[in-house]
Structure 1
């Protein structure tokens, strides 16, 4: 079991706010106990106290670390077995294999694992927000930790919404090092991974089941320039600025939403491009409407354009 049920998430949040929760109230969500998020109140057996989120997350990640060590050994043995074929593969890639279509999650991950195993200088990644499972955290740790141990520099771009993801924050903390940098920006288009200015990976379908492996030097150089353009406009993941309220009373994320509203995007498209769910997006739109004194959706677009908030350098 990798995800809390909706009721469990609601009750755990309520327990954290109140400091405790009645046993009877927690019964509808057995996942709370399966995740070890509650423990008996020593002062009253009828109540349960919440385990701090940081501690609970660490408990979940510990078995992942053990599995990483086992898989790392297996990966090393597989790499040794394929070493005789690497030179042959490099020769074919210099011909017609500069663009390779990868179909299926397993083949994509195999290609990524091989590319990162050969990475010796720097890896650049763009990671739009989505739900993070223990399996994806495991894969990320498996790939990134050996890179760090080899002295490879890693730079990763997230959307601002990653600041609300305990999984992503814990992942970043696990790999905290001088050669590892995490930044966030309001809007990202798609995933991107680049290794050593040599190979890049981009998805070609929304379900992430088909990807392109690019080894054409011109294409890779172009994608690096795109990454550097976004990186220069992003802020460190540890900074709080992107969600602070600006002098005009509107947060940075609401400025991003305003820009997309004026461009004519619907709520679902805005939420997808900014890495948040539709309900959260609509809540920000409502706050934006209140701040600008709008009484309707049509009037909101007009008021945004007239207010000049999109011309204030946000």
Structure 2
């Protein structure tokens, strides 16, 4: 059977040979690297400087440099996870840029608007302002806006309480934005502090790089993307009626100024107390299952570390996979890490 390789994940044969050598031997000093490349990996390019090999392998996430200067291998599961994550991020970025350049979304939206022509929920387009009626239509617009957001996302939540259903919908959009390193700022009403489910999600976002503040003053409902488009409710007292979408530079600028004033009077998200946040959605034992899922190479190893039977271990793994909405164990470990659960 031919040996599988990592070329499809962006690792060339020479670097993979060095990584496999590290896995067999445990770690090497820079001065020893060329000799071992020649002896143990004859197909590798031995003309490469040891420092360059160190740099490439650490940049790929295949190895780490210890304080005493040794190059040590990263565990295969974590190494491959990092390579997959990097390739998925690159593919996602390339595909989204191609979609944006090709105008495919605009083309599809034009078809959709034809079907709504004359309907009760057809958008009222007037220059750079649209009236979007109904929550389903508003969510579709939010999906579109976040898809194209590239630099900044500003949002407020005047109620401060996020239901599990709204969190489930928001998580996909928010993760999409944060993966692009978009600067996300979110203002929450102080009632969020009293709702464990909401706080858990806010800390999840905070761990991913979002900036969150709590306001004790009344908030206006706003969603602003790239300082180029803004959504506000048609009726702030009845947000289910729909929203107004504006791309008018003057109006958007005024709404950004309003957001900045509310942001300045708000307070930073308070630090989590011990045991807070994660335990609202996963209990301590489930956290241990998730950690073992991320670190253990086999079910038998994970079960032994937790002191339970393999069958019981697999039952708990299936439970946390369902909780995360993951289709496989690799995805479950990745999602749990993204959400700050491990």
- TM-score when scaled to structure 2? 0.43
Based on CA coordinates, which of the two structures has the bigger radius of gyration?
2
